[in-house]
Structure 1
Amino acid sequence: MLPLLVALVTQVSAHEIEIAGPQNTSELLRAWTFEPGVIIPIVASAVLYSLGVFRLRRASPKSVRKSNIVYFALGWAALVLALVSPVHAWGSVLFSAHMTQHELLMLAAAPLLVLGRPVVPFLWALPRSWAITLARWSKVGAWETTWRTISNPVVAWIIHAVVLWAWHAPALFEATLENESIHALQHASFLFSALLFWWAVIHGRKRALGFGLAVLYMFTTALHSGLLGALLTFANSVWYPGYAERTAAWGLTPLEDQQIGGLIMWIPAGLVYIAAGLALFAGWLRESEMRARTFELAVTSGANSAEHNSAIERFS
């Protein structure tokens, strides 16, 4: 996903975001965004993943689970929905649509792509010499240290929280409405921080986290993101005046639009974090039960072995 992030950061539109944007449903349905800086890496990621999966499964049919392929496909579709579909253009008119776009990136695309485990297929899609070079670079001291630091669950949680809150500061958010490059940087940082967060929670728990802390990080994320959503919902004033002249075409006042956006961040997004936390909690219970059974079998096996040896000694 790195090429996609780089493209999102570096793309510079030939024009500033159009203030008018789609003014009705008919215009909205035609408002697809085909920025080369987004389309090319999105298409390339699909091609690389497909080629990598093909090569992996040809080498070993069971090397890639079908569930991983489904997860990646759904995550890829969420990226298209957020960055290419009319949702993107709608976000320049309504704050609530902008929030929907952000939640698609952070709560749909990011976790699904992480569950899809795309790194190995991507490497298998590359020429062997390139893959070997990348593998060597990943072991270079500075890179390895940096990755270990930012992928630490606590650090990943902090990065995700800081990125979320910082970009909703009025000055920064208003800047995204006026400059496409800043807007692209916002999306890239949302996607990167979310990928990092979900990777640390889903895969990092096997290394240094454990189910218990993973559940804690998920629920605390639901709390702080829900707080931001609640602040937006119950605010008595408009945080982002840039939308003031854009919402009327859709029958909303700027404050109503902001309240809907806050509710989207607060309720649906919070439910996603809570559902993920409950899934991790269920996994924690299953793991505890398996450990208990393993211990019980070990004890029973040891007891049976002792009885067997005792019987042999009596009759020998």
Structure 2
Amino acid sequence: MNPLYWLEPWEPSPTVVIVMLITAVLFVRGKRHARVTFARQLSFWFGLGALYVALHTRLDYFFEHEFFMHRAQHLVLHHLGPFFIALAYPGAALRAGIPFAWRQRFVRPALAARPVRLALDVVMHPVVAVTLFVGLIYFWLFSPIHFIAMLDWRLYRVMNWSMVIDGLLFWWLVLDARPAPPARLSPGKRVLVVIAAIPPQIVLGAFIFFTPRELYPVYSICGRAFTWLSPLRDQQIGGLLLWIPGSMMSVIGALIALRHWMRLSARGRLPQPRRAHTAGADAGKRQTLRT
């Protein structure tokens, strides 16, 4: 069989093609002006390619007809793809890829608009970020909602895109290598945020794995891609994918955030405690008065 056969979309989506094409063009244009190492370029293209494969290839048939394949798809959309894109720190390159006149006329006014700033402040708040990251997994795996989402192609696409967007926002927040400011969270908070997302994923994955009944009958009703795999075994594999690889991605994210914290501390780029600064100023004033 021709390998290109698997790259053909099961259900063509102009939205996926347009979004991926625009993102790729902006990055190619921008990396000429922004300094992007080869490792970061490789990370970006791997993440973008992973998202495309999970959204717009013939594998989508298996994602729709087998629960463990669906969990593998969301592992890529919510964890793997966004993780590697955020790890590439492509913001400067993507921004440089936009024509200067467009940035001045459209991008900057849009980002400076009060509704946009308020929305970003809300979704980037650490508590909200963790709640959304874990809550979306719980929401789409709630059996009645999951049943409808797998039958309605419009809701199915909303589900997939919500996972991509939320994954990008979360990993962009957690893997930011800069001190705060300009980063939204301090390095310590970034470590805590990603660690807080681990236990709920373990709990849900373990629940799906150990449940002795079929939680997602939609796959049996619509027909399974792998008839040799029993519904419970399929469900158990899906639970393990959420339980182990999903949690391990968060552990890796926590280790990278911790590495950034240690690097910034070693370079003296972390803000000094206010009390220490005040005490030093007071001591200086006393010394001046004595002299």
TM-score range, shorter chain: 0.7 to 0.9
SS of the residue aligned with 1:203?
Answer: coil
Pick from 126, 131, 150: which aligns with 1:153? 126
Would the aligned equivalents of 2:130 and 2:196 in 1 still touch at CA under 8 Å? no
Pick from 72, 92, 106: which aligns with 2:78? 106
1:94 positional shift: 0.4
Deviations 1:252-309 (A, max 9, x none): 11111111100011111111111221232344344445559xx9xxxxxxxxxxxxxx
Would the aligned equivalents of 1:247 and 1:253 in 2 still touch at CA under 8 Å? no
1:65 positional shift: 3.2
Would the aligned equivalents of 2:79 and 2:249 in 1 still touch at CA under 8 Å? yes
Pick from 13, 23, 26: which aligns with 1:35? 13
Counterpart residue number, 1:172 = 145
- Please, which runs of 5 or more residues in structure 1 have no aligned partner? 1-25, 58-62, 296-316
1:211 positional shift: 2.8
Q: Does 1:279 align with 2:256?
A: yes
Deviations 1:70-93 (A, max 9, x none): 221111111122112333221111
Would the aligned equivalents of 1:244 and 1:253 in 2 still touch at CA under 8 Å? no
Q: Which has more radius of gyration?
A: 1
1:31 positional shift: 6.4
* Farther-moved stretch of structure 1 (270-279 vs 243-252): 243-252
Pick from 60, 72, 77: which aligns with 2:44? 72
Counterpart residue number, 1:193 = 166
Aligned counterparts of 1:287 and 1:120: Cα–Cα separation in 2? 20
Q: How does 1:1-316 map to 2 (within 5 A)?
A: 29=6, 32-33=9-10, 34-54=12-32, 56=33, 63-132=35-104, 133-203=106-176, 206-207=179-180, 208-245=184-221, 246-247=223-224, 249-291=226-268
Would the aligned equivalents of 1:31 and 1:89 in 2 still touch at CA under 8 Å? no
Identity of aligned residues (%): 25
Q: Please, what TM-score do these two structures have when normalized by structure 1?
A: 0.75
Q: Please, what TM-score do these two structures have when normalized by structure 2?
A: 0.81
* Farther-moved stretch of structure 1 (216-225 vs 170-179): 216-225
Please, what is the CA RMSD of the aligned residues?
2.5
1:229 positional shift: 0.8
Q: What residue identity is the alignment partner of 1:242? A: V
Deviations 1:12-70 (A, max 9, x none): xxxxxxxxxxxxxx9x958643322222321222122212223x15xxxxx33333322
Would the aligned equivalents of 2:89 and 2:176 in 1 still touch at CA under 8 Å? no
* Farther-moved stretch of structure 1 (73-82 vs 280-289): 280-289
Aligned counterparts of 1:233 and 1:82: Cα–Cα separation in 2? 23
Q: Would the alpha carbon gap of residues 134 and 191 (structure 1) be closer, same or farther in structure 2, given more than 3 Å must change?
A: same
Would the aligned equivalents of 2:48 and 2:81 in 1 still touch at CA under 8 Å? yes
* Farther-moved stretch of structure 1 (99-108 vs 36-45): 36-45
Aligned counterparts of 1:195 and 1:68: Cα–Cα separation in 2? 16
Q: Would the alpha carbon gap of residues 260 and 290 (structure 1) be closer, same or farther in structure 2, given more than 3 Å must change?
A: same
SS of the residue aligned with 1:281?
Answer: helix
SS of the residue aligned with 2:59?
Answer: helix
Q: Aligned residues, how many?
A: 261
Aligned counterparts of 1:135 and 1:111: Cα–Cα separation in 2? 26
- Please, which runs of 5 or more residues in structure 2 have no aligned partner? 273-291
SS of the residue aligned with 1:239?
Answer: coil
Q: What residue identity is the alignment partner of 2:137? A: L
Would the aligned equivalents of 1:219 and 1:273 in 2 still touch at CA under 8 Å? yes
Q: What residue identity is the alignment partner of 2:239? A: G
